[in-house]
Amino acid sequence: MAAYVEFKNVKKIYKMGETQINALNGVDFEINKGEFCVIVGASGAGKTTILNILGGMDTLTSGSAVLDGTDISKMTKRQLTAYRRYDVGFVFQFYNLVQNLTALENVELAAQICRDPLNAADVLKQVGLSERMKNFPAQLSGG
């Protein structure tokens, strides 16, 4: 069976004026469906760059990134928008919550662009935040 996620010889070069930064220099890995995977490496090793490519938020310079049989490196901007919206979930290091909306409103906002969204209040209850639905992000703990 083919791997669910497959990076093949992925290179990412950031250009900053005259200088080029080789953020990824030929990355190969596979993740099988259902596998729990952790990416570990020194600061600057390219972890965020890999996740940004896999999350459809950045593009690669060469190589291929295949998810469930589709090469996301060949997607158009429009296809990547649909991919981010429907196919991939992403928790940012700095959350990207809307600061002046409550916890409930933040989840409701995301639910508006989902297909078949779950009930926002029910989901917050399931993760133990039933008492915190009316709190703003600044009033919640990070985790």
**CB-count burial class (<10 Å; 0-12, 13-18, 19+) for 84:** middle
What separation in angstroms does the CA of 9 have from each of 62, 68, 79, 85, 131? Answer: 8, 18, 23, 26, 47
Kindly determine how many residues on this chain lie close enough to bind ligand ATP according to the rule CB under 6 A: 12
The nearest distance, CB 103 to ligand ATP, in angstroms, is: 26
Rule CB under 6 A: say whether 48 interacts with ligand ATP. Answer: yes
43 binds, options Mg ion, ligand ATP, none, Cβ within 5 to 8 A by partner type: ligand ATP
Select from Mg ion, ligand ATP, none the partner in contact with residue 29, using the beta carbon and a kind-dependent cut-off of 5 to 8 Å: none
Choice from 17, 34, 41, 69 touching ligand ATP (CB under 6 A): 41
Q: Which is nearer to ligand ATP, 94 or 100 (CB)?
A: 94
Least distance (Å) between residue 77 CB and Mg ion: 24
Q: Binding to ligand ATP by residue 109, rule CB under 6 A?
A: no
What are the residues binding Mg ion (CB under 5 A)?
A: 47-48
The 3-class SS string of 63-127 reads EEEEECCEEHHHCCHHHHHHHHHHCCCCCCCCCCCCCCCCHHHHHHHHHCCCCCCCCHHHHHHHC
Contacting residues toward ligand ATP, per CB under 6 A: 14, 16, 21, 23, 41, 43-49
